[in-house]
Amino acid sequence: MKQRVYVGMSGGVDSSVSAALLLEQGYDVTGVYMKNWSRDLPGMQCPWAEDLADAKRVAVQLGIDFKVFDFEKEYRDKVVDYMLDEYRAGRTPNPDIMCNQEVKFRLFVDTALADGADLIATGHYARVRYSTQASLLTAKDKNKDQTYFLYRVTSGALAKTLFPLGDFTKPEVRDMAKKRNLWTAHKKESMGVCFVGNVGMREFLSEYITTHPGDIIEKESGKKLGRHDGAIFYTLGQRHGLNVGGGLPYYVVGKDMDKNEVYVSRNIHDEAMWRTEVPLSNIHWIGAAPANGEKVQARLRHRGALLAATLDGDILHLVSGERAVAPGQSAVLYRGEECLGGGIVVSASESSLSLS
């Protein structure tokens, strides 16, 4: 009896190739489009209908079953609202991480298994080691590795998951798509907020969060340098978009959401910009937690460098320090090629980010 795999098909080239590979490996494959977001924004048509059609075209090409799972309500509740709340609070969240945690590797897994699947699969660049407990490993393509987005997934979900692309590089995947003449072989990578297509985060947030203009203040002098149109749009370490005139660049070194003030500095060595101690919250481990003081590697952003680090309770110690670690972003820990899990960066205290 063939094992039944439900593969999440987004209409992109990666998940298309995943489905094709699984079929060639002898699985009984069903393609599933997860309908997470379909709202059009002003001046921007949500691409979901086209993505769905692309995914379905590939499924038809492969001659496999195809279903649509409607997760729109859950996605709005668990991913979009979380993201908006985080931005309102002045943090810099990562909606992809939340989407994987709540939708792709919880809701999708549960729904697929209840629908008769034995396993699920996606087009992520990552690998799973299946032993007594499933663990998450980085992809062969270190440049494409997506484990940063997957660190909040459970071992239980991984045990039911196949990542057919984990041992391939992106160029290899493109080639495989072209060789198989898949409809999506030449499709461009989506840009911007993943679920709304080619629209920037700023435009998206503007739709949902009422913002007010406020002051941009130089940290050292307390001098008002200019105006911003909403503190939520600024993230720690950001250099662009400060309309404060020429000379050396200014960097965001803090903001006060209550006062709606953004603090900037020309000092690239400002203490707020460089962190060696990073307190974490909402820590999640896929398997066992690393031992206190164990030498691990930490990654603070997707495709960011792997930094030598140790964890002491909830505090991540970075051996060499890291620039612009913003509250809300994730710190993901690795032991060699194994992704252990991680947590969400909190500011040492809210006040440390403001002048007062």
Partner 1 sequence: MNTDIIYCDHAAATPLDERVLMAMQPYFAEQFYNPSSPYAPAVRVRQAYRQAKHRLAMAIGGQADDIIMTAGATESINLIFGGVQGHVVTANIEHHAVLEAARRCDNFTTVAASSTGRVDPEAVARALRPDTVLVSIALANNELGTIQPLREIATVVQSERRRRAEAGESTPIYLHSDASQGVGQCDVTVARLGVDALTLNAGKIYGPKQVGLLWLAHHVRLDPLIVGGGQERGLRSGTENVAGAVGFAKALELAQAHRKSEVQRLASLRDTMQRVICAAIPQAIVSGDLQHRLAGHLHIAFPGVDAERLLFILETKGVLVATGSACAANKGTRSHVLTAIGLSPEVADGSVRISLGRLSTEENCHQAAEYIIAAAQQEYQRTGGYL
Q: Does 61 bind partner 1 (CB under 8 A)?
A: yes
Decide whether 111 or 161 has the Cβ nearer to partner 1: 111
Residue among 26, 42, 43, 63 that touches partner 1 (CB under 8 A): 63
Contacting partner 1 within 193-252 (CB under 8 A): none
For the residues of 155-198, what is the DSSP string, one character each? HHHHHTEE-TTTTS-HHHHHHHHHHTT-TTTTPPPP-SSGGG-S
SS3 203: helix
Q: How far is the CB of 9 from partner 1 (least distance, A)?
A: 12
State the catalytic residue, choosing from 19, 23, 99, 176: 99
Phi, psi values for residue 267, rounded to 5° = -85, 105
Between CA 228 and CA 327 the distance in angstroms is 20
Degrees, nearest 5: CA angle 196-198-201: 70
Q: Does 38 bind partner 1 (CB under 8 A)?
A: yes
Amino acid at position 239, single letter: R
For the residues of 246-261, what is the DSSP string, one character each? SSSPPEEEEEETTTTE
Q: Does 60 bind partner 1 (CB under 8 A)?
A: yes
Q: Looking at 44-52, 124-132, 135-143, 319-327, which segment touches partner 1 (CB under 8 A)? A: 44-52
Q: How far is the CB of 212 from partner 1 (least distance, A)?
A: 36
Q: How far is the CB of 49 from partner 1 (least distance, A)?
A: 5
State the catalytic residue, choosing from 113, 194, 201, 244: 194
Q: Does 56 bind partner 1 (CB under 8 A)?
A: yes
Q: Does 2 bind partner 1 (CB under 8 A)?
A: no
Q: Does 187 bind partner 1 (CB under 8 A)?
A: no
Q: Does 57 bind partner 1 (CB under 8 A)?
A: yes
Here the tokens at position 197 are 């297509």
Asked if 2 contacts 28 with a C-beta cutoff of 8 angstroms, the reply is: yes
Question: Whose CA is closest to 145, among 344, 334, 308?
Answer: 334
Q: Looking at 58-66, 84-92, 162-170, 298-306, which segment touches partner 1 (CB under 8 A)? A: 58-66
Decide whether 57 or 301 has the Cβ nearer to partner 1: 57
Q: Does 52 bind partner 1 (CB under 8 A)?
A: yes
Question: Whose CA is closest to 345, among 235, 260, 239, 241?
Answer: 235
Residue among 53, 191, 288, 308 that touches partner 1 (CB under 8 A): 53
Pairing of strands 4-8, 119-121: parallel
Q: How far is the CB of 64 from partner 1 (least distance, A)?
A: 9
Between CA 73 and CA 91 the distance in angstroms is 24
Between CA 300 and CA 140 the distance in angstroms is 20
Residue among 24, 39, 68, 213 that touches partner 1 (CB under 8 A): 68
Decide whether 22 or 278 has the Cβ nearer to partner 1: 22
Q: How far is the CB of 58 from partner 1 (least distance, A)?
A: 9
Here the tokens at position 263 are 């603090």
Question: Whose CA is closest to 174, among 163, 188, 162?
Answer: 188
Asked if 295 contacts 310 with a C-beta cutoff of 8 angstroms, the reply is: yes
Annotated catalytic residue 194: yes
User: Total residues at the site for partner 1 (CB under 8 A)?
Assistant: 13
Between CA 350 and CA 356 the distance in angstroms is 10
Between CA 140 and CA 176 the distance in angstroms is 16
Asked if 163 contacts 122 with a C-beta cutoff of 8 angstroms, the reply is: yes
Q: How far is the CB of 51 from partner 1 (least distance, A)?
A: 9
Q: Looking at 64-72, 75-83, 99-107, 279-287, which segment touches partner 1 (CB under 8 A)? A: 64-72
Decide whether 65 or 207 has the Cβ nearer to partner 1: 65
Amino acid at position 252, single letter: V
Annotated catalytic residue 46: no
Residue among 50, 85, 271, 314 that touches partner 1 (CB under 8 A): 50
Q: Looking at 51-59, 80-88, 218-226, 309-317, which segment touches partner 1 (CB under 8 A)? A: 51-59
Residues found near partner 1 in the complex (CB under 8 A): 38, 49-50, 52-53, 56-57, 60-61, 63, 65-66, 68
Catalytic residue annotation: 99, 194
